[in-house]
Amino acid sequence: MSSALALFATSVGTGLLAGGASCAAVQGGLLAGAAGRRTRPFENPPQPGNARPGLAEPLAPVGVFLAGKLLSHTLLGALLGVFGAALQPSPRTRAVLLIAAGVLMLLFALDLFGVKAVGRLVPRPPASFGRLVRRRSKSGSKLAPGLLGFATVLIPCGVTLSVELVAVTSGSAVAGAAVMAGFVLGTAPLFAALDYAFRRAGQAFSGRLGIVTGAVVLGIAVWTVASGLQAGGWYSTVDTTPAAAAVQPEPGTTSEAQSRAGAPALEGPVTVDALGNQTLVLTVTDVYEPTAFAARSGVPTTLILRGKDSGGCARAFTIPELGVQEIAKRDGDINIDLGTRKPGKLIFSCAMGMQGGQIDFKEDAA
């Protein structure tokens, strides 16, 4: 349950900071339809003697719209979590899907800029769905905005695709639902503001919104692709300067019996006991500390994943090259056998590639 709450909080932040602009650019037409047909308080101001509409009346359509969106996305998140539990993708499979999501976001951004060459490449709902939306947007039913909001699950924006991937990797229905519900709630403030703007300025504002949010989506697309490269272990975006060099205990500091019992002296992030066994300690809070190690090649190596009030994406630890996937303990250690490594770099990251680091194995590390 604690991991579901952490994913929920992370998804709220993602929706608030990035998802709102991206989704509004793609789904803004549905929102405009939901807002424009229900109330138009600025087009027909009340005449003298008539009661002015209360605040609840103009806000009701967007509230029903968001409620429908929340329902459909929460149900989708639960289904994705169940799917992920049944078929957990490997770190590099997730990375490929994340890069694909970034490329799709790039296409959305170029489409928002009006680049005609990408028009055929951007996924669009079927024509029958478009006709249904137009009919519903013209309907005077109070439930029409809710049906339009529910239908947004069929028109995912680029950031939504990335969050859906998180739901798959969450591995449970509850966590998957928490991911998608948190994301929708995070986008709610911007959608509410856009509803006001649509009713105030109409389609002229909608056109400018596409250009502005296209730039935002473009930046998010680049960030998503970079995260995918890190999640796959192909590229590291972190500082590669080792935080600490290997520590060799002085003779007599660690007894042979202690070494055989698996209790090497851990004076630093990298230690080598009297028998030549190397231990790396990676501390997991909301981030990884350190993000770079200088370690010895050619010796048996164990990585200790040490949780210290760990949370967020950092808990979902992966080493893509080795296929390692571990959920760090909230407080406690997990030992990962890295074997005897040859000289070279080994990249690690969180499951979504938002955080990471590398271990640089060298023959002369000391």
Q: How many CB atoms lie within 10 A of CB 43?
A: 10
CB 225 within 8 A of CB 105: no
pLDDT in tens, 106-142: 887 787 777 888 777 766 655 555 555 555 555 556 6
Q: Sheet harboring 292-296: ordered strands across? A: 292-296, 356-362, 344-350, 316-319, 324-327
Least confident of 18-27, 101-110, 163-172, 270-279: 18-27
Question: In the block, which residue shows the tokens 């793609």?
Answer: 26
Taking each helix axis from N to C end, the angle separating 127-138 and 20-36, rounded to the nearest 10 degrees, works out to: 50
Per-residue pLDDT reduced to its tens digit, 279-288? 999 999 989 9
Residues in the chain: 366
The pTM assigned to this predicted structure is: 0.65
CB burial readout 52-86, b (16+ within 10 A) else e: eeeeeebeebbbbbbbbbbbbbbbbbbbbbbbbee
The two three-digit tokens of residue 152, written as one number = 């947004």
Spans of all domains in the chain = 2-46+53-231, 256-362
Statement: residue 49 has pLDDT above 90:
no
- Rounded to an integer, the average pLDDT of 83-89 is 77
Task: Please give the residue that has the higher pLDDT: either 116 or 56.
Answer: 116
* Residue indicated by tokens 């149900």: 75
Mean pLDDT (the chain, rounded): 74
Mean pLDDT of 66-88: 87
- Which of 1.10.3720.10, 2.60.40.420, 3.40.50.2000, 3.20.20.70 is the CATH number of 256-362? 2.60.40.420
pLDDT band at 330 (very low <50, low <70, confident <90, very high): confident
